[in-house]
């Protein structure tokens, strides 16, 4: 079913449909795709930044800022006493100051003549997209959760926030984490959901996690997007023709490694 919904993370992840991250893991093996991913500190930081900028009300429900007199050392009795009975994750004033710097730099960043703050005020935030694809006469439902969806007239833009250590090196992350597949996957869904749009774009908005908290946006060219389309297509076909064994990891065979082209003789 083709639809756009406002769902919590729990509701979204509990919905049965193919996601970009699932397909990338499925390419590795079915077992990897069906194994829950443990959140790293970096992932937790990314979620915190997303909530602080996009859904501040959810941020306030999730985190609490400790009073100034509470030390950040979790071994101290004062911290332990404050933490007793807390249902929210504890942050400190220094954390809040850092988040405010990141948010302010993102919101004042200009994209094609307008501040991100202006786009944000007229965009859907943390919106869940669901769309149907038909490959080899088989239907499959796909899903994606967009950070920010801006639609004006016949043009649509999905903004995706990415935390990084160095904005200028984001190109390596696009390749390493296959973000080009995400860009194609989401724009494919948006085109299906809004067939009257004549322009559909995917913009990566990168922000550095440490001072001076630089911000830079990226958009992939047609060739990069097409590479994402090809890989997504073959991943979905692989899933549709899969035997259903969720314990399958790697094939029991020897892999021959060939010398890379960049390695001199």
Give 157's pLDDT tier (boundaries 50, 70, 90): very high
119 and 46 within one domain: no
80 and 121 within one domain: no
The domain boundary residue, chosen from 73, 108, 143 = 108
137 and 56 within one domain: no
pLDDT digits (tens, 9 = 90+) for 74-129: 999 999 999 998 999 999 999 999 999 999 999 999 999 999 999 999 999 999 99
Mean per-residue pLDDT for 235-248? 96
Query: Given a cut of 90, is residue 262 above it in pLDDT?
Result: no
In this structure, is the dihedral angle defined by the CA atoms of residues 38, 215, 202 and 127, taken in order, positive or negative?
A: positive
Query: Given a cut of 70, is residue 240 above it in pLDDT?
Result: yes
pLDDT number for residue 53: 97
Q: Residue 237 contacts by C-beta under 8 Å, 6 or more apart in sequence?
A: 135, 136
196 and 123 within one domain: yes
219 and 91 within one domain: no
Query: Given a cut of 80, is residue 61 above it in pLDDT?
Result: yes
* Domain annotation covers residue 143: yes
3 and 127 within one domain: yes
81 and 28 within one domain: no
Average pLDDT, the chain: 95
In this structure, is the dihedral angle defined by the CA atoms of residues 172, 176, 179 and 180, taken in order, positive or negative?
A: positive
Residue 137, domain CATH: 3.90.320.10
* Domain annotation covers residue 6: yes
30 and 59 within one domain: no
Element (H, E) at 22: helix 20-28
* Domain annotation covers residue 248: no
* Domain annotation covers residue 264: no
pLDDT number for residue 66: 94
Q: Residue 169 contacts by C-beta under 8 Å, 6 or more apart in sequence?
A: none
64 and 138 within one domain: no
Distance CA 84, CA 233 (A): 50
What's the whole-model pTM score? 0.92
The domain boundary residue, chosen from 108, 125, 149 = 108
Mean per-residue pLDDT for 231-236? 97
153 and 26 within one domain: yes
pLDDT number for residue 38: 86
21 and 151 within one domain: yes
104 and 76 within one domain: yes
Terminal Cα-to-Cα distance of the chain (whole angstroms): 54
Most confident of 35-44, 71-80, 185-194: 185-194
* Domain annotation covers residue 174: yes
* Domain annotation covers residue 231: yes
* Domain that includes residue 138, residue range: 1-36+112-240
Mean per-residue pLDDT for 183-191? 98
pLDDT number for residue 32: 97
Distance CA 163, CA 131 (A): 27
Count of structural domains within the chain: 2
Give 265's pLDDT tier (boundaries 50, 70, 90): low
Query: Given a cut of 90, is residue 260 above it in pLDDT?
Result: no
Mean per-residue pLDDT for 194-212? 97
């Amino acid at each position: 079913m083709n639809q756009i919904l406002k769902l919590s993370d729990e509701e979204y992840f509990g919905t049965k449909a193919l996601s970009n991250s699932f397909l990338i893991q499925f390419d590795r093996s079915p077992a990897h795709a069906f194994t829950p991913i443990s959140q790293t500190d970096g992932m937790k930081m990314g979620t915190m930044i997303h909530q602080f900028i996009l859904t501040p009300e959810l941020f306030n429900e999730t985190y609490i800022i400790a009073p100034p007199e509470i030390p950040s050392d979790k071994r101290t009795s004062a911290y332990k006493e404050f933490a007793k009975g807390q249902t929210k994750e504890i942050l400190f004033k220094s954390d809040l100051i850092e988040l405010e710097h990141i948010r302010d730099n993102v919101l004042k960043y200009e994209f094609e003549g307008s501040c991100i703050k202006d786009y944000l005020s007229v965009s859907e935030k943390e919106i869940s997209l669901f769309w149907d694809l038909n490959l080899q006469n088989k239907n499959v439902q796909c899903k994606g959760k967009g950070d920010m969806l801006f639609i004006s007239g016949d043009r649509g833009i999905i903004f995706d926030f990415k935390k990084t250590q160095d904005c200028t090196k984001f190109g390596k992350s696009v390749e390493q984490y296959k973000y080009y597949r995400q860009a194609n996957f989401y724009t494919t869904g948006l085109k299906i959901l809004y067939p009257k749009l004549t322009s559909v774009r995917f913009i990566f908005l990168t922000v550095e996690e440490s001072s001076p908290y630089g911000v830079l946006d990226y958009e992939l060219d047609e060739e990069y997007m097409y590479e994402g389309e090809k890989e997504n297509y073959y991943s979905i076909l692989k899933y549709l023709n899969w035997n259903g064994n969720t314990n399958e990891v790697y094939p029991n065979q020897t892999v021959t490694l060939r010398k890379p082209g960049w390695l001199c003789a």
